[in-house]
């Protein structure tokens, strides 16, 4: 527990940071002129009186310069001494042009009443009892390929780092985010050292490394902790100073703080970045036939986050809720949309809120004939019809107890089918059939059953978003290492987590030796390849690395890709060259060496090819 400064006395000038003011009435009183989520912000004032409470702690009555008609009680340990008493002229504050946002956060999801109008399936409304034996996707144009295609060039030879960065809006980070970080920090920190794109890349690489090497004492990563016997093998000091790393984390912003924009839109900080991220995701992958819509949570356990929600059924139930769309073949999240914010968005002037959310998520694939899978939160006749208007089929869960069909105003057939497996469930659909599926399953009694085909389609495609959420949150993630009170940085860790989960999903399918790779092993490879990428970039740019200053020459490039033994114990080990095996070379070549940048066994020929490719990528980094 920190001690109160002995210089703090009655009439002394003090300052108190925004963080220590959040539980007081100050944010409510100053919300029109200050943003208490801004990094590095503080208020100044003077001590009116001092006392000691029942617990023996020093309590100071403080009058803030911006609220001279009020006094507040703070623990003395939260105050910073600024100087002795002076004239009552208001001081020249270092003021960040931001605005407070401390209103009560809603904990309920957006109203389901807009869509959840219980449908009365009466025959006089056009619904008729019967079966559906013809799949409309065989009549109308539909997307036929079940599998996806990945747009990363040379994906079979790319490293995990290339996969990870391909899912991030790197151009937006370089052109918008980094300049805003520098501009915001310069308002608060004197002699701020500009953060470069390479600095930001290094920062991301170190964060990724923290998720695979977990230390409670963050100083241990820089070999500065109190337990030198347990220091990690990698010394972060070789890549970035300790202070610089945490300054980037502290002053990370997406947009410069603007009181007017914050009053109109509490989420303005992430709007531009989210749009760039969605565009990057939609271009990274050509999804397969089925797209799944569900919710994802940007987890949070503190206060100050706009649009705070509580969804009890989620693994991390508290945080910002995003409606997300994922590809069923790869489990990659491809679009995100905020919920319950009052800022007008596309399609809001045409349809109800939930319909417009689904249309925004599906917009990149309008008229493609793909099939949308969603749960009962989204399912309704109106939703099904609106998606048909955009050239998309759908299968969604819905509450009903019959099998019926109807024809909409445009002559298109939609139907509702119910089926009991432990409990009754109903689906509303514009495609598939009610005939028994060719695939069977065994129930709890041992009986072999066959679902209706529409249920088979739904049950096998419905968990794409949940699979991505589990891959992101079931291991140590960026949320766990980016300790912060600022919700914007929480959102950044959410984005990094999605990019990492997407990269893993794609690497398993298209990556070199990706088949059968475990998530833990992939994260280790990703961290190492990111470190090698920034290390090689520093070498080629002539920046200082470690204790030596290196220059751009062939020797330094070769050092980053040395051909070394596989075994780390000195005991000879011979394994099959994975590149040759993947290329179909017979008989398989057994080797005892690998490249220093990877753990995959590699023959001399494959290493030379790998060296040439990596050299080309580094020079064009």
pLDDT at res. 127: 73
Which range, 15-24, 487-496, 562-571, has the best average confidence (pLDDT)?
A: 487-496
User: Are 142 and 568 a contacting pair, CB within 8 Å?
Assistant: no
Distance, CA of 64 to CA of 164 (rounded, Å): 47
pLDDT score, position 552: 38
Residue 56 has a pLDDT of 83
- 3-class secondary-structure state, position 27: helix
Q: How far is it, in rounded angstroms, from Cα 505 to Cα 502?
A: 5
pLDDT, tens digit (0-9, with 9 covering 90-100), for 186-220: 988 888 999 999 999 999 999 999 999 888 888 88
Distance CA 575, CA 593 (A): 9
pTM for the predicted model, two decimal places:
0.72
DSSP state letters, 189-215: STTPPPPPHHHHHHHHHHHHHHTTS--
Q: 3-class secondary structure for 131-187?
A: CCCCCHHHCCCCCCCCCCEECCCCCCCCCHHHHHHHCCCHHHHHHHHHHHHHHHHHC
Residue 161: predicted pLDDT: 95
Long-range residue pairs from 152-155, CB within 8 A, at least 24 positions apart, any chain: 152/284, 152/506, 152/510, 154/613, 155/506, 155/510, 155/511
Residue 346: count of CB within 10 angstroms of its CB: 11
Q: What is the Cα 414 distance to its own chain's centre?
A: 36
Task: Supply the pLDDT for residue 92.
Answer: 35
* Percent of the chain at pLDDT exceeding 90: 41
Q: Average pLDDT in the 386-405 region?
A: 78
Given this model, what pLDDT does residue 96 score? 28
**CA quadruple 303, 307, 310, 313: dihedral sign:** negative
How far from the centroid of its chain's Cα atoms is residue 96's Cα?
A: 27
Give the pLDDT band (50/70/90) at residue 86: low
Q: How far is CA 337 from CA 7, 296, 356, 363, 498, in A?
A: 51, 10, 10, 12, 14
Mean pLDDT, to the nearest integer, of 112-131?
52
Read off the pLDDT band of 390 (50, 70, 90). Answer: very high
Q: pLDDT for 128-168, tens place per residue? A: 787 888 899 988 888 888 899 999 999 989 999 999 999 99
Predicted local distance difference test score (pLDDT) of residue 549? 32
**Helices and strands of the chain, counted as H and E runs:** 19, 25
User: Structure tokens of 474?
Assistant: 């079931």
Banded pLDDT at 588 (limits 50, 70, 90):
confident
Determine the Cα–Cα distance for residues 386 and 360; give it in Å rounded to an integer: 12
pLDDT, tens digit, 9 for 90 and up, residues 25-83: 898 888 878 877 777 788 999 999 998 888 888 899 999 988 888 889 999 899 999 88
For residue 216, how far is the Cα from the chain centroid?
Answer: 23
Bigger pLDDT: 341 or 85? 341
**CB 14 within 8 Å of CB 44:** yes
User: What would the two tokens of residue 510 be?
Assistant: 């298209």
Token pair for 366: 């309008």
Q: Name every residue whose Cβ is closer than 8 Å to that of residue 466 and which is 6 or more positions away in sequence.
A: 294
pLDDT-derived band at 578 (thresholds 50, 70, 90) equals confident
Q: Give the chain's mean pLDDT.
A: 83
């Amino acid at each position: 527990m920190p001690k109160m400064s002995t210089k703090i006395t009655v009439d002394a000038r003090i300052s108190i940071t925004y963080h220590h003011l959040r539980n007081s009435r100050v944010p409510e009183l100053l919300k029109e002129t200050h943003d208490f989520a801004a990094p590095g912000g503080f208020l100044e004032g003077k001590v009116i009186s001092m006392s000691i409470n029942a617990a023996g702690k020093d309590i100071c009555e403080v009058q803030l310069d911006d609220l001279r008609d009020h006094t507040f009680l703070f623990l003395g340990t939260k105050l910073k001494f600024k100087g002795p008493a002076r004239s009552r002229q208001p001081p020249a504050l270092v003021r960040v042009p931001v605005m407070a946002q401390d209103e009560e956060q809603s904990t309920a999801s957006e109203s389901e009443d807009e869509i959840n109008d219980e449908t009365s399936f009466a025959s006089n409304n056009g619904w008729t009892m019967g079966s559906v034996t013809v799949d409309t996707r065989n009549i109308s144009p539909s997307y036929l390929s079940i599998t996806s295609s990945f747009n990363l060039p040379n994906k079979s030879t790319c490293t995990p780092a290339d996969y990870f960065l391909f899912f991030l809006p790197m151009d937006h980070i370089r052109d918008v985010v980094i300049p805003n970080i520098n501009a915001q920090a310069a308002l608060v920190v004197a002699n701020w050292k500009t953060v470069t794109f390479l600095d930001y890349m290094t920062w991301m690489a170190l964060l990724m490394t923290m998720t695979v090497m977990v230390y409670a004492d963050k100083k241990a990563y820089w070999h500065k902790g109190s337990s030198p016997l347990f220091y990690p093998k990698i010394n972060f000091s070789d890549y970035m100073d300790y202070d610089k790393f945490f300054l980037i984390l502290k002053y990370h912003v997406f947009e410069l703080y603007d009181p007017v924009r914050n009053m109109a839109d509490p989420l303005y900080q992430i709007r531009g970045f989210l749009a760039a991220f969605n565009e990057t995701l939609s271009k990274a992958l050509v999804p397969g036939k089925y797209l799944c819509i569900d919710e994802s949570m940007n987890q949070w356990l503190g206060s100050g986050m706009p649009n705070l929600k509580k969804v009890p059924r989620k693994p991390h139930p508290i945080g910002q809720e995003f409606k997300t769309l994922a590809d069923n073949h790869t489990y990659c999240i491809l679009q995100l949309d905020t919920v319950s914010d009052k800022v007008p968005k596309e399609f809001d002037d045409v349809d109800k809120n939930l319909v417009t959310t689904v249309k925004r998520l599906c917009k990149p694939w309008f008229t493609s004939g793909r099939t949308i899978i969603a749960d009962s939160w989204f399912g309704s006749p109106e939703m099904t019809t609106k998606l048909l208007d955009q050239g998309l089929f759908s299968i969604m869960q819905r509450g009903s107890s019959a099998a019926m069909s109807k024809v909409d105003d445009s002559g298109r057939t939609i139907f509702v089918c119910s089926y009991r497996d432990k409990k009754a469930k109903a689906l509303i659909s514009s495609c598939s059939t009610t005939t028994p599926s060719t695939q069977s399953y065994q129930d709890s009694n041992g009986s072999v059953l066959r679902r209706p085909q529409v249920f088979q389609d739904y049950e096998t495609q419905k968990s794409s978003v949940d699979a991505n959420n589990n891959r992101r949150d079931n291991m140590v993630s960026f949320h766990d290492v980016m300790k912060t009170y600022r919700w914007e940085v929480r959102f950044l860790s959410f984005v990094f987590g999605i990019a990492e989960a997407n990269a893993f999903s794609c690497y398993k399918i298209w990556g070199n030796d990706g088949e059968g790779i475990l998530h833990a092993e992939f994260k280790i490879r990703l961290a190492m390849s990111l470190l090698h990428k920034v290390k090689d970039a520093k070498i080629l740019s002539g920046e200082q690395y470690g204790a030596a200053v290196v220059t751009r020459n062939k020797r330094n490039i070769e050092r980053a890709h040395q051909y070394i033994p596989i075994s780390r114990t000195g005991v000879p080990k011979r394994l099959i060259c994975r590149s040759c095996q993947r290329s179909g070379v017979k008989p398989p070549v057994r080797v005892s060496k690998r490249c220093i940048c990877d753990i995959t066994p590699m023959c001399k020929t494959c290493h030379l090819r790998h060296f040439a490719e990596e050299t080309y990528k580094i020079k064009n980094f």
